[in-house]
A and B are shown apart, each in its own frame.
Chain A
Amino acid sequence: MDWRQLWEICSAPDNVPIVALIPLLAFYCYLAWKQAKGNDELIAELETSPAMAKTRYRKTWPFEPGWQKEVHVWPFLLRIEFLAAIIVTIVLMIWSVTLNAPLEEPSNPNLTMNPAKAPWYFLGLQEMLVYFDPWIAGVVMPTLIIVGLMVIPYIDTNPLGNGYYTWKQRKFAIGSFLFGFIILWVAMIIIGTFIRGPGWQWFWPGQTWDHSRLIYEVNRDLPDLFGIASNFGKAIFGAVVVGGYYLAGGFLIHALFRRYNPKDYQRMSLLQYSIMVFFLLTMVALPLKMMLRLAFNIKYVWITPWFNV
């Protein structure tokens, strides 16, 4: 166990935000979960007695009849905002006094940094470079992330859970988002920061970075496994595999979705439905491709003269 190495990585000034992000995220997940649980219990209670649902104040916060429903922004909101501004300022002050922003040697195109890492918030994409060609990891994925986020409001037709925390009413939406945000984004950043060392190789936390370590991996392409040699054959084969994945996966999602979310299924238009299925399958494709690589050393699935997937 190389504690020194571990400490150097964790205390590198630019990594401190990620070290801070983990407990922050855990705290806010807890805060959200606690409120979701309270609301879900209230919902369950109201669902069983329609009479009560008509009369009860429908929030988990305490409320007595006769209390005002609204409060003045000044002072009740503004004082919180001013307080928050003061606290953030103090935190920033302390942080700035105790920790110096990094400054390396002057830039030198002839002296490559190893590992050369992108800023921490882009490490998820850099991690994807291991498994995908740059045009996918660097261009297509960011585009899909942005577009994917933007379509969320238009494909989520579930009217429940608007303006309150809940889990039971939005299991599918929240589950998908957590998968994308926590696993595909934050976890990849953590790997990129704490695990990737020189040559972008995998070093367990506490393992000494060995700059001369070489890994001999013989990567194969999926068509090779099936003995397909001609370029034309490879292109067709890959198209079939990728197309097959989307078709079979689409069918599986269809079978599950219409059973477990019948109301949303009924509501969604063909366009909404296919966009949702496409993004879901594309998200799931990432860990699948990673597994193909890690478990079977497979580099490409689909090889064409113009691009490889």
Chain B
Amino acid sequence: MPEENGNGKNGKEVGLLERLKSALHEDVQSIRTDMPTKAKEQIEGLKKPTKTAVYTSIFRHKHDDTPRNRALGVLSNVFLHLHPAKINRDAVRYSFTWGMGGITFYLFIVLTLTGVLLMFYYHPTKLQAFRDVLYLEHDVPFGKILRNMHRWAAHLMVITVWLHMFRVFLTGSYKAPRQFNWNIGVLLLVLTLLLSFTGYLLPDDQLGFWAVTVGTNMARATPLLGHEGPFGKMLGMTPYNDVRFGLLGGSIVDANALLRSYIWHCIGIPIVASVLMIVHFWRVRKDGGISGPGSVVLASEDKAQRGPRHA
């Protein structure tokens, strides 16, 4: 055997083998002794998941129910920290805000999620758009409920945004210092309606086609910029260069209009609306949180002065 021969010849090599052997023995031994302890520790650790390195790297503070932790739970979370740590005790009452701003925002999120899923099945071309919707309705798993949900959430968002504006008006929340945020709100209202309107054409069915035709026909009559509008002809407006042409990418609602609708609906307007929503929420905080329910002010305390009131 080569090993036996080697043993007799060279002591050094024997020593190496011995060392190797004992090292291996130690290794095995350590697996035997250490691993069970580690396993035990591991099992103990599983009982306390909040102590793991992964957990503590994500959540940066303890969660036992102390006032400090309640505050930190909100403040150390990028999404929740839109909120302050504490608010007016009556401001959480549903009857004041009706929750409408929040519900509108939630619907926007629902629409984004369902909308992205719909995009996987939809081609904005005259050849395919209608068929894609039929395919969604009849063949795609859950396609029908997906489409329904997107549509009804859109309608609901229009309603909730109106109700939100209504409530903001009735509580006088547009008054100083919130005038600017009301204006951001008005822009969001317009964008919400435009989002809904641009989506209407996308199924490429009779309903959307005629609704958009009726809608954009009005653009023909734009003063100065439409070929049927006051002073339009004088400025050289024709059906082929006026503002309606620009909106539709053509003189009739056709392939280009479908593509333009699609891009505005899925990319352009959502981006602008998201940016404005961020500004809107930021301003709610910066203007001192929501306006109320505030303490009533009496007419006898209103000393009429000239000029706008400075807060």
Contacts and interface: CB of A to CB of B under 8 A. Distances in A.
A135 B166 contact: no
Task: Determine the main DSSP class of B at the interface with A.
Answer: helix
Interface in A133-187: 133-135, 137-140, 146, 149-150, 152-154, 156-166, 169-170, 173-174, 177, 181
A116 B211 contact: yes
A274 interface: no
B78 interface: no
Interface residues of A, number: 108
Given A88-B103, A108-B206, A70 B88 contact: yes
Given A17-B156, A70-B89, A107 B95 contact: no
B253 A109 contact: yes
Interface string A68-94: 111111111110110011001100110
B210 A166 contact: no
A86 B81 CA distance: 21
Given A121-B196, A153-B178, A160-B302, A74 B207 contact: no
B156 A109 contact: no
A263 B156 contact: no
B214 A92 contact: no
A210 to B, nearest CB: 20
A162 B294 contact: yes
Contacts of A266: 304, 306
B74 interface: yes
Contacts of B228: 134-135
A117 B200 CA distance: 12
A73 B71 CA distance: 8
B147 to A, nearest CB: 5
B205 A68 contact: no
A116 B213 contact: yes
Interface stretch (A24-32, A201-209, A239-247, A293-301): A24-32
A76 B73 CA distance: 13
Q: Which A-B residue pairs are the 10 nearest by beta carbons?
A: A138-B218, A163-B294, A163-B292, A107-B209, A153-B179, A134-B221, A163-B291, A58-B295, A307-B230, A96-B148
Interface in A1-58: 14, 16-17, 20-21, 24-25, 28, 31-32, 35-36, 39, 42-43, 46-47, 50, 53, 57-58
Interface string B64-101: 00010011011000001001111111111111101100
A54 B166 CA distance: 32
Contacts of A72: 67, 70-71, 74, 85-86
Nearest to A71: B89
Interface stretch (A97-105, A223-231, A282-290): A97-105
B227 to A, nearest CB: 11
Q: Which of A106, A158, A160, A162 has the most CB of B within 10 A?
A: A162
B106 interface: yes
Given A32-B167, A47-B299, A88 B73 contact: no
A77 B82 CA distance: 12
21 contacts: A28-B167, A73-B87, A81-B102, A92-B149, A104-B206, A104-B207, A106-B130, A107-B204, A108-B206, A109-B252, A111-B206, A122-B193, A122-B197, A122-B215, A149-B165, A153-B183, A157-B309, A161-B175, A162-B297, A164-B293, A164-B295
Interface in B108-130: 110, 130
B150 to A, nearest CB: 8
A89 B156 CA distance: 12
Contact of A162 (B90, B231, B291, B299): B291
Contacts of B147: 101
B250 to A, nearest CB: 12
A160 B98 CA distance: 21
B221 A138 contact: yes
A107 B219 CA distance: 21
A222 to B, nearest CB: 19
Considering residues B99, B196, B219, which has the most beta carbons from chain A within 10 angstroms of its beta carbon? B99
A165 B255 CA distance: 50
Nearest to A42: B296
B183 A150 contact: yes
Given A35-B95, A109-B253, A161-B172, A169 B299 contact: yes
B270 interface: no
Nearest to B145: A96
A258 interface: no
B153 interface: yes
Contact of B148 (A70, A99, A119, A306): A99
A98 B37 CA distance: 58
Contacts of B144: 100
A119 B73 contact: no
A159 B304 CA distance: 9
Contact of B295 (A59, A177, A306): A59
Contacts of A181: 162, 166
A154 B175 CA distance: 8
A169 B299 CA distance: 7
Given A138-B221, A153-B179, A267 B307 contact: yes
B103 A107 contact: no
A14 B302 CA distance: 48
Contacts of B137: 100, 103
A37 to B, nearest CB: 13
A138 B219 contact: yes
A118 interface: yes
Given A134-B221, A150-B186, A267-B307, 15 more contacts: A21-B159, A32-B167, A47-B298, A47-B299, A61-B90, A67-B89, A72-B67, A84-B102, A106-B204, A107-B205, A139-B226, A159-B297, A169-B299, A177-B169, A306-B230
